[in-house]
Amino acid sequence: MSTRYAVILSGGSGMRLWPLSRSLRPKQLLCLNGDRSLLQQTAERLLKLVAPSNLFTVTHQDHKFEVKGQLSELSANLVEGVLSEPVARNTLPAIAWAVHEISKRDPDAIIGVFPSDHAIENEDVFLEAWQSAESAAEEGYLTLIGLAPTEPATGYGYIQPGAKLDLITASQAHAVSRFVEKPDQKNAQKFVANGYLWNGGMFVFQASIFMEMLRMHQPEMFNAFEVMGSNDLSAIYQSLESLSMDYGIVEKAENVAVVPVAMGWSDLGSWDSIYQHQSKDDDKNLTHGNVLSIDTKDSLIWATDGLVATLGVSNLAVIQTADATLICDRSRSEDIKQLVTKLQQTHPHLTETHLTVHRPWGTYTVLEEGPNFKIKCITVNPGAKLSMQMHNHRSEHWVVVSGRAKITNGERELILEENESTYIPKTHHHRLENTETVPLQIIEVQCGDYVGEDDIVRFEDTYGRRITQ
Quick one: which of 171, 53, 44, 45 has its CA closest to 106? 53
Torsion over CA of 42, 334, 19 and 271, rounded to 10 degrees?
-60
DSSP strand E in 102-221: where? 110-115, 119-120, 142-147, 158-164, 174-180, 197-206
10 Å CB burial of residue 435 (0-12, 13-18, 19+) is middle
**Collapsed DSSP state (helix, strand, coil) of residue 270:** coil
Supply φ then ψ for residue 233, to 5 degrees. -60, -40
CA angle (355 as vertex; 352, 356 as ends), nearest 5: 100
**Given the DSSP bridges, would you call strands 82-85 and 55-60 parallel, antiparallel or unpaired?**
parallel
Q: Can you give the pLDDT at residue 420?
A: 96
Q: Can you give the pLDDT at residue 230?
A: 53
CATH number for domain 356-460, candidates 2.60.120.10, 2.40.50.180, 3.20.20.70, 3.40.50.300: 2.60.120.10
Quick one: which of 26, 65, 300, 257 has its CA closest to 144? 257
Torsion over CA of 331, 333, 334 and 336, rounded to 10 degrees?
140
Question: Phi-psi bin for 28: left (phi > 0), alpha (psi -120 to 50), beta?
Answer: alpha
d(CA 232, CA 217) in angstroms, rounded, equals 24
**Peptide bond connecting 19 to the previous residue in cis, omega within 30 degrees of 0:** yes
Report domain extents, the chain.
Answer: 4-266, 271-346, 356-460
d(CA 386, CA 360) in angstroms, rounded, equals 9
d(CA 167, CA 378) in angstroms, rounded, equals 58
**Collapsed DSSP state (helix, strand, coil) of residue 356:** strand
d(CA 337, CA 114) in angstroms, rounded, equals 24
Q: Give pLDDT tens digits along the chain (469 positions).
A: 689 999 999 987 778 999 999 998 999 999 999 899 999 999 999 999 999 999 999 999 989 989 999 999 999 999 999 999 999 999 999 999 999 999 999 999 999 999 999 999 999 999 999 999 999 999 999 999 999 999 999 989 999 999 999 888 768 999 999 999 999 999 999 999 999 999 999 999 999 999 999 999 999 999 999 887 656 888 889 889 999 999 999 999 999 999 999 999 999 989 999 999 899 999 999 999 999 999 999 999 999 999 999 999 999 999 999 999 999 999 998 899 999 999 999 999 899 989 999 899 999 999 999 999 999 999 999 999 999 999 999 999 999 999 999 999 999 999 999 999 999 999 999 999 999 999 999 999 999 999 998 899 999 998 888 787 5
d(CA 362, CA 364) in angstroms, rounded, equals 7
**DSSP code for 153:** -
Query: Can you count the helices (H) and strands (E) in the chain?
Result: 12, 28
d(CA 284, CA 281) in angstroms, rounded, equals 5
CATH number for domain 4-266, candidates 3.30.160.20, 3.40.50.1980, 1.10.443.10, 3.90.550.10: 3.90.550.10
Question: Phi-psi bin for 332: left (phi > 0), alpha (psi -120 to 50), beta?
Answer: alpha
d(CA 363, CA 435) in angstroms, rounded, equals 16
Q: Can you give the pLDDT at residue 19?
A: 96
Handedness of CA 98, 232, 357, 69 (dihedral sign): positive
